[in-house]
Amino acid sequence: MAREDDAMPDIAEVTMVDVLRAVADPIRLRIVQTLADGLPHGKCGTHWDFGVHKSTMTHHFRTLRQAGLTRTVVSGRTHTVELRRDELDVRFPGLIDALTTAAGVPQRQG
Amino acid sequence: MAREDDAMPDIAEVTMVDVLRAVADPIRLRIVQTLADGLPHGKCGTHWDFGVHKSTMTHHFRTLRQAGLTRTVVSGRTHTVELRRDELDVRFPGLIDALTTAAGVPQRQG
C-alpha cells in the first residue's frame, strides 16, 4: 500500500535535470553509488555512516525518492530503499553507470 | 595568454559533484549538449536562443567554465567556448555521453 512517505514520480515525468539536481550533492551521490549494487538497503545501515544527523539522512533519502531515483519498499515494519535502476537505465541510458564508474576515481572531498 | 575571465580549474581538481551541480540546470545542460558536438561555439550564436538575457547566458557560461566543463578560446577579438571533452571523458568516463544521449529522449520542460 503506497503511503505519502513512499510516493515517487512516474519515471516518464522525471527529467534529467531533476536527477542531476538530486545527485549534485556529495552525500546523495554516495548514496546512489552505494545503491547501484542493485540491492535493497536499510535506511539505518552502518554503510550510511556519513557523519551527519539521522534527520539529514532522512532528508537526503526523501530528496532522492521525490526526484525519481529511488523507491521505498515496505515489508511489515521494515523499510528499505533501492535504486529504480531498470527504469533509470531506460530513461537515461548510461547515466547511473557513469555516476558509479567514477566512484572508483579518487575525488577531492568537496 | 590566460586572463581572469578565461581561468578554469585543473581537471584533476574537478569533482563529479562540481560537474553535476553545473549541469543540474536546464539551460546549462542544453549548452553542454550543444557543445558535445566537439566544435568551438561563439557565445552569441543563434543556437543559444534560449529566451534569456545575454547577461544570464554569460553567467551560465562562466558557471560551466569555473566548474571545469568548458574552456574559452580567445583568438584576436573572437571568443569561443568549447567542451573539455577529452579531459572530462578520462576523468568521468561515460558521463558526457550519458548527458548527451538522453538529449534525444523527449523531456518534460522543467
pTM to 2 decimal places? 0.87
B20 at the A interface (CB within 8 A)?
A: yes
- Is A105 touching B (CB cutoff 8 A)? yes
Note the pLDDT of residue A106.
Answer: 47
Which pLDDT score is estimated for B76? 86
- The whole-angstrom separation of Cα B10 and Cα B51 is 32
Would you state the pLDDT for residue B108?
45
State residue B43's pLDDT score. 85
Q: How far apart are CA B87 and CA B92, in angstroms?
A: 8
- B75/A99 Cα distance (integer angstroms): 35
CA of B54, closest CA in chain A: separation in Å? 22
Contact B102 A93 (CB under 8 A): yes
Vertex B8 angle, CA B6 and B11, to 5°: 150
Taking the Cβ of residue A101 and every Cβ of chain B, the question of whether any pair is shorter than 8 Å is answered with yes
Best of A16, A25, A64, A90 to mutate (most B CBs within 10 Å, chain B): A16
pLDDT tens across A68-84, in order? 999 999 888 888 999 99
**pLDDT tens column, B41-52:** 988 767 788 888
pLDDT at res. B24: 98
Residues counted in chain B: 110
Band (pLDDT 50/70/90 cuts) for residue A101 is confident
Contact between A15 and B107 under an 8 Å Cβ cutoff? The reply is yes
The stretch A11-37 carries a mean pLDDT of 96
What are the average pLDDT values for consecutive 10-residue runs of chain B, which has 110 residues? 73 97 97 93 82 90 97 88 96 95 51
Task: Give A 34-73 residues with CB within 8 A of chain B.
Answer: none
